[in-house]
Structure 1
Amino acid sequence: MPPKENKSTGSQEGQISQTTKISTDALDDSGGQISETTKISTDALDDSGGQISETTKISTDSGGQISKTTKISKTTKISKTTKISTDPLDDLEAQISKTCCIYPLIPSEDRSCCIYAVPETLIEINGKKAYQPRVVSIGPYHRSQPQVMAMEKHKVEVLSLLLHRKKFGLDKLLSITRPLVAEARKCYSKEMNLESITDHNDRFLKMIVVDGCFLIELFRKADKQKLFEFNDPLATMAWAVPYIYGDLLLLQNQIPFFVLERLFETSKMPGESNAPLSLLALRFFNKVMQRPNQVIESFTFSRNQTVPFHLLDLVRSSLLSPHLEPSKKNEGNTQTCRLIHCISKLRRAGIKLELREADSFLDVKFRKGKLGNRVIQMPNITMDYHMKSFLVNCLAFEQLHNSRSKQFTVYANFLDCLVNTAKDVDYLCDQNIIENYFGKDGDVVLFINKMGKDLAFDDDQFYLSQLFKDVDECYRNKCYVQVASFMRRYFNTPWSFLSALAALFLLVLTFLQTFYTINP
C-alpha cells in the first residue's frame, strides 16, 4: 500500500498547517500494523501575543485498538522595542529653547550648580576610588552603594538624639528646611540620581536634613576634647573616623553649605559656643591636615570673600590667599611660559629648592640672592591618603566650576613640571618640602604625574606665571649656567672645596718658585 500524504493550510490570525501521514509497516495477510499520525501546528498569536502549537498522534495496532495522543504547547513571546534618541541634533530647536530657559543670560558665577558628577575622563586618569566614599555617603550620588549602608542607620540615630535634645519634632525641622529644597536641587549637576530619590514624600528633603544634621553633630563632637561619649551612636563606628575625613571632602559627596548653615542655626542650644559653622568644620578637618591653630582661628569670611559652596570649597578656600592671585606685571604680554624643567636639570643649572614657612603650601616663591643664588622656595606638603583625595577633588572642582580660581590647578601643573623621577622626589624629601607617607618615592612620582595630566587654565588664572618666567630665564642664561656648573663641581661639598683650595695653593707655590728661579 503506497504512502499517503495530505497537506492543507488555512489561516486564523496566523497560519495553521496540518500534516497526515499513514504508513503500512507489515504485510496485509499477516494483519500488519497500521499507524496514523496527525500533526496540527498553529502559528497564530492569541490575545497575549503567544504562539500555540498542537500535535495529535493516532496509532492503530493490528488488534484494532486505536490510541490518540494530543499535545498542546504555548509559547508566549512579547517583544517591544522603543528607540529613544539622545542626539541633540534630532531636536535642535527644542534643545536650544530648553537651554535658554535654564540659563537666561545669567553670568556663570551666579549659577547654582556646584556639586558635579565627575566626568569619565577624570575617572580614567585617577581611578574611581578617588571620587567614591568609603564609609559615609552625603547627598544623592552614592547613597545606594553597599559600603555606605552601615552608616545610614547611625545617621538616623544622630538625628534622633538632636531632636530629643532640641525638644521639637521632625516635622518642624523639615518645615524649616523645606524652602531651601528648590535651590538645593539646582546645586547638583546629575538630575537623574535626584529623580530616583525624590517623590511625593519629600525624600530629597529628608535626605539633606539627615545628612546635614549628621555633619553638624560630627563637627560639634570634634570640637570637644573627647570625640565620642560611651553611649554615643557613633562610638561603635570610631574605626571609620579616619575614612570619614576623606569622604567628606569628595566632590560628589556634598550638600550645599547654605543648607548646613540653616540646620546649624536651627539646632543651636542656649549657651552654645558662638563659633561659626565654618570654623567648626575647619577645626574638624585640621585634625588630619595639621595646620597651625592660629591660621585656622584667624580664618573668617569677610564681605569681600565669597561664601563657600560646600565643605570641599570651604577647606579649599581656606588655603587660598589674595596675594596668590595672578600678577598683573605681564598684562598684554601674549607669551606666557607654562613649562619649566625638572628638579634634576634645574639643579645642574644652579637653581636650588628650599623650604619656606607659609600658611599654605600654594605660596611658592622664587628668590634671587645677592651672590647669584637662585632658589625656589616651597612650603611643606604632606603626601598621604587624605591629601591625595583632597587635591584630586579640588582639581575636579576647579576644572568643572569656572567661577572659582585655578590655584590648585596651577600648583598641580607646577609639581608635574618639577617631578619626573624618584630622584626628584628624594631631593624634595631631603629638603623637607615633601613628607612622603605613600611609601616609595615612585608612588609619589606616579601620583603627581597623573594629577598634572590634561589640566586646563587660562593665562589670567596662572598665579605662578612670574615664577615660571624667572626660572626659565635663569635656566637659559648660559653665563649663569657655566658659573653655576663650576661652583657645583668645585664648591658643592667641603671636600671638593678643600681639594680646589689645595690645587690653588700648589698653583701659587709653583708660580712663585718659577718667578724666583728666573729672578733670583
Structure 2
Amino acid sequence: MRVDKVRGSLLGTISIQRVSTDLPQVLSDCCIYKVPNLLRNVKPEAYTPQLISIGPLHHGNAKLEIMESKKWICFSEFKRNRMSDERIMDLVNIIRNKEKNIRQYYSKNFNEIGSRDFIEMILLDAVFIIEFIKESNDVEDGPKNFEPWMMSDIKEDLELLENQLPFFIIEEIYDEVNRARQELPSIPLLRLATFHFGKYAFPEVVNTDPKVEGSRHFTDLLRNLMLDGVTERSFTFDTIKLKYSAVMLRKAGVRFRVAKEKCMLNIRFEKGVLEIPRVEIDYSSERFVRNIMALEQCYKPFEAYICNYIKFLDNLINSAEDVDLLVGKGIILHWLGDDAALSNMINKLNENIGDTSAYYDDICKNMNLHYENRWNRLKATLELGYFAHVWRGTGTVVAAILLILTLIQTITSVKSVF
C-alpha cells in the first residue's frame, strides 16, 4: 500500500466526524514546555530534535521532514498488522475525545493546527513511538523498520522536553491496539518504556511508586525513575553553597567514598566522609540532563532534585584535578576522553539555572564548617605532607633515631678523650 494512499485514507477517517469542543479547560495539565530562551541560548542543540519531530512544538520543521515519510511507512506497516479501517477509527475516536486535554498539556497554543491535522499528528506520532519502542526491545529479531544508525538518535530525541506526547494518550492507543490484535498477555507500556530507557540503570521492574506511575510524558518518566529510592529530605530556601572543591576538601581531611545506593542523588557526609553514588557519564548525558533540568525549572521548581544535584557537582568540581580525584575514588566513570572535558561540561550545565529550593543545604553547611576548622586542615597537612606513605613516615623516624644515636656516640667519644 502506497504511503499517500494510507494518508488519504486516514484523513478521510478523521474528517467524517465532528470534533467535540465542550471539554473544560484544565490549566494545571500543562507539563510540556518550550524551553525558556535563557536556557536554550546556552546550547540550543541540546533541546532541539536532530532527527524526528514528536508532537506540535517542532511539527513542520523542514530539517526533520525526512522522518515524516518514515512515520507514514511505519504507519502503513502498522495498519497491515491486523488493524482494519474500523480499528483505526477507534484510535481516531480516542484522540478526538481527548483532543482538548492533549492540547492543554502544552505551554503553547496551537490554534493554527486544525483539529483534523492535530489528530493525524498525534496518531501518527503515537504509533511511531509504540512501534519504535517495541522493536527496540525485541532482543530476538531486532528492529525491522529502522536502520541501526537511527536507533540511538531517535531514542535521544524521544527524551527531549519539547518533543513529547502526553503519556496517557500513547498508553490508551497502545492498550487499544493490543486489544484489537488480541496480543495477550501484553507488557504494560510503562514497563516497556522503562526497559527502553534502561541505559541509565533504572530498575528492571517498574515499582508501584505513585510518582513513576503518574509520569506525564517520557521526560517526566525519566526524571521520576532517577528519583526512585531518593532519600526524603526537606527542601529549604537557605541556598547554602558548597565553597570548596574536591581537591581543597581533601586537603582538609575529607575522605571520598562510593555510596552503595541505587539512587544517584543520595549523597551523605558524616564524620569527614563524603559518600556519593557512582555516576556514569557519556557523550549523550549532557543533552539528557539538560532536558531534565529544564523540566524542573518549568514544572517542578520547588522539587528541583536534579538541578540541586548538578549544582552540588558543579561546586565540587572546578578543574580536571577534581575530576581525577573522583574518578580515582570510583565515584565518576566517564567516556569523554579527558577529565578537563568533563569538568567543563558540568560547570556549563549550571549556567543560567535559577535558584530554587535547596536539597543539600545541610550537607554543604557541614562540609564548609569541616574545611574551615583549622585543626582539620592542619591534621590533613601532616597526614598528606609527612605521612602520606607509610615507608616515608617510617624512614623519617629511623633517620631521627640514627641521628640521635650518632650524636650520643660523638658525645661519648669526646668525653673519653678528656
Length-normalised TM-score, structure 1: 0.68
Equivalent in 221, 226, 245 of residue 319 of structure 1: 226
Aligned length: 389
Deviation at 1:134, TM superposition (A): 1.3
Cα distance in structure 2, aligned partners of 1:446 and 1:138: 31
Whole-angstrom distance in 2 between the partners of 1:383 and 1:356: 17
* Aligned match of 1:45: none
- Alignment-derived partner of residue 132 in structure 1: 48
Kindly state the Cα deviation for residue 512 of structure 1 after the two structures are TM-superposed. Answer: 7.6
Structure 1 stretch displaced more, 313-322 or 218-227:
218-227
Aligned position for 1:215: 129
Q: Does 1:357 align with 2:269?
A: no
Relative to its length, the structure with more strand (as a share) is 1
- Find the aligned partners of 1:182 and 1:456 in 2 and give their Cα distance: 32
Deviation at 1:285, TM superposition (A): 1.5
> 3-state SS of the aligned residue for 2:333?
strand
Q: How does 1:27-106 map to 2 (within 5 A)?
A: none
1:514 CA displacement: 9.7
1:261 has 2:171 as partner: yes
| Structure 2 alignment gaps of length 5 or more | 1-23
Structure 1: how far apart are the matches of 2:219 and 2:107? 16
Q: Measured at CA, do residues 227 and 206 of structure 1 come closer, stay the same or move farther in structure 2, by a change above 3 Å?
A: farther
> Residue type matched to 1:375 in 2?
V
User: Quick one: which of 149, 161, 166 aligns to 2:82?
Assistant: 166
Code of the residue aligned with 1:402 in structure 2: it is K
Per-residue Cα deviation, 1:128-182 (whole angstroms, up to 9, x for no partner):
1100111111111223223322221222222222233233323232012211111
| 2:367 equivalent to 1:471 | yes
Q: Out of 149-158 and 258-267, give the one that drifted further.
A: 149-158
**Which residues of 2 match residues 47-446 of structure 1 at below 5 A?**
111-125=28-42, 127-169=43-85, 170-191=88-109, 194-196=110-112, 198-200=113-115, 202-226=116-140, 228=142, 232-234=144-146, 237-268=147-178, 269-286=181-198, 288-289=199-200, 291=201, 296-303=203-210, 307-321=214-228, 323-327=230-234, 337-368=240-271, 374-402=272-300, 405-446=303-344
The amino acid that maps onto 2:114 is D
The structure with higher relative contact order (CA 8 Å, sep 6+) is 2
For 2:29, what is the secondary structure of its paired residue? Answer: coil
Cα root mean square deviation, aligned: 2.9
Contact 1:406/1:457 (8 A) holds in 2: no
Cα drift, residue 272 of structure 1: 3.6
**Worse overlay, 265-274 or 319-328:** 319-328
Distance 2:413 2:186 in 1: 90
Deviations 1:377-425 (A, max 9, x none): 2222222222111100011000011377211010010011011112112
Letter in 2 for 1:340: K
SS at match of 1:324: coil
User: For each residue in 1:9-52, what CA deviation from the matched residue of structure 2 results, as whole angstroms up to 9, or x when unmatched?
Assistant: xxxxxxxxxxxxxxxxxxxxxxxxxxxxxxxxxxxxxxxxxxxx
Counterpart secondary structure, 1:353:
strand
Change (3 A) 1:273 1:177: same
Q: 1:316 & 1:341 partners in 2: Cα distance?
A: 28
Label 1:267 to 1:102 Cα distance change in 2 as closer, same or farther (>3 A): closer
Percent identity over the alignment is 28
After superposition, the Cα gap between the structure-2 partners of 1:263 and 1:486, relative to the gap in structure 1 and judged at 3 Å, is: same
Runs of 5+ in structure 1 lacking a partner? 1-100, 104-109, 369-373
The structure with the largest helix share of the pair is 2
Q: Distance in 1 between matches of 2:59 and 2:212?
A: 32
Amino acid at match of 2:51: V
1:483 aligns with 2:390: no
CA distance in 2, matches of 1:273, 1:507: 83
Shift of residue 457, structure 1, vs aligned partner = 4.3
- The CA deviation at 1:188 is 0.8
Q: Is the 8 A contact 2:230 2:263 kept in 1?
A: no
Do 1:166 and 1:267's aligned partners in 2 also have CA atoms closer than 8 Å?
no
CA offsets, 1:159-213, max 9 Å, x none?
A: 222233233323232012211111110111122xx233x225x111111111111
SS in 1 for 2:300: coil
Assess if the C-alpha contact under 8 Å between 2:387 and 2:393 holds in 1. yes
**Counterpart Cα distance in 2 of 1:262 and 1:511:** 91
User: For 1:487-514, what per-residue CA distance to the aligned partner results, in whole angstroms no more than 9, with x for missing partners?
Assistant: 1112223443333343454467579879
How far residue 338 of structure 1 moved from its aligned partner, in angstroms, is: 2.3
